Structure 1
């Protein structure tokens, strides 16, 4: 039966290319290939699609057929045999965890300390002009607050009026909110704004504490400072870094905004009351004794709000960029 099937398969021979008569013909017996591998070759043409590979003889034992099949797979289009594969390793293969994992955004905090990429830590650098204003305004606000809290003893005729609060005798005549009319009528606006003054003083003191205990003086132009050629040493700065810098700039922004808002409210109170407390003065007295000194508490706090707010925005940009890089 095998012989008849083989003969039927070779009934229609497949056309072959003309061979070179001088080319040596392969032997019909087994040859020893690379690395001792048996390679079987035959002159007879194979079936359709395998004319260049040869076809095994019909009378082949199962062991020889297995060797033939293995060698055909291992030597076809490959110079060497494939290495043997571990059976235990085949069964233990699992899908890669990398393909199943999902990218989750980083929940780490922004790096204000400069630990990543060897960068300098984020810093807060107020100009010396800012520090000079705080050193001038804070004693004046403390002086004003004690005057209000010690009324009537700090007012004209009181036991504490001289020598500390003698100038308030004139100012109380210009602005009745600080004089006897407001005190006798029980006007609470004066004491209310003094309560905000106390909060401001505490905030500014802690701000300066952070600067002088955590910072250092640098010969650079501070944030928002005027040109060095115009103000000289006033453009120098004191710098604080890292987490202390973040606390300092937020504190400065909040307290300066409180000072600005309180002073604007102080002015608006006069406008919407028909200038009930300063309307009895002439224009010159109002400008030099009321508008000019009180205007300083609008100009400089607005400056502090601007420069500290700008630094806060820069810090937020750093935080956003740090989060994007860590994803």
Structure 2
């Protein structure tokens, strides 16, 4: 048997007629930039998340940039975040000339450990960026309480977690600005790059709408230094179709995760932990194994793909050497990075495929 990690083709075939018609409609109108499908998508995202404002953009990375630019993050500012994440989280901070300040992760959820945040706050700290790793939000109540106490902003990196919740509230609604990614392999993915930002603040929403089109207030009149951060109309059209079925896909992801957990419970693995106050979008199903390389090789030989999210924490990446961190500085992140391994996860894994995967542990 050969397993497909994400089964993107299966999903396309499932919704092929609607997706093809949606794409063709854009082609017929040739309105490829900021077409009516953009407005339709943003309204649907608002309805789905209950966020007051949803603004689509060109990627999850650009969503983070838009959020920080809207909050006037400047060179010399500090932003507290996690070293156990995709580089975009901290890369965008550094790109704006600000300084990523890392805090270690919780050993069970792998999210930012809220109990360690306050000791890293200085007069230069302007914001906290928790990452909803593998699809599960961090402890947003504790993080929000700390931010309120110290007058800090909260930007959620929800690239992996669209549709997840904390305290029965979607993580698109927590924080001052929440971001997500529609990269194809994400739980809700388009057929290229795409992302969105969410906020309850009308002023921030209007500013981000302007920033994504080069800071324009009207055509060729520029209020801000901005960026080319628009989502293209074809991607919006695809997302409009897929969003209609997203609740079903989330439920199927939960079923797959539950089957994995039930069957792997007695194996020599550390299984994913979901906080009782949270739900996960299950972007990944990641386990920890002591002998990862050999396990991955055995699975590969059996036609079972795996992935490592993430093999090297950001504080020991070459590009962040200038921050002065050393190996051993964030021990939980380092241990997890050496043991973590993601199994195939998508809504369309069959019971037969799951049983086949489990049989190799």
Given the two structures, how large is their TM-score scaled by the length of structure 1? Answer: 0.20
Q: Which has the larger radius of gyration?
A: 1
Which structure has the highest helix share of the two?
1
Which structure has the highest strand share of the two?
2
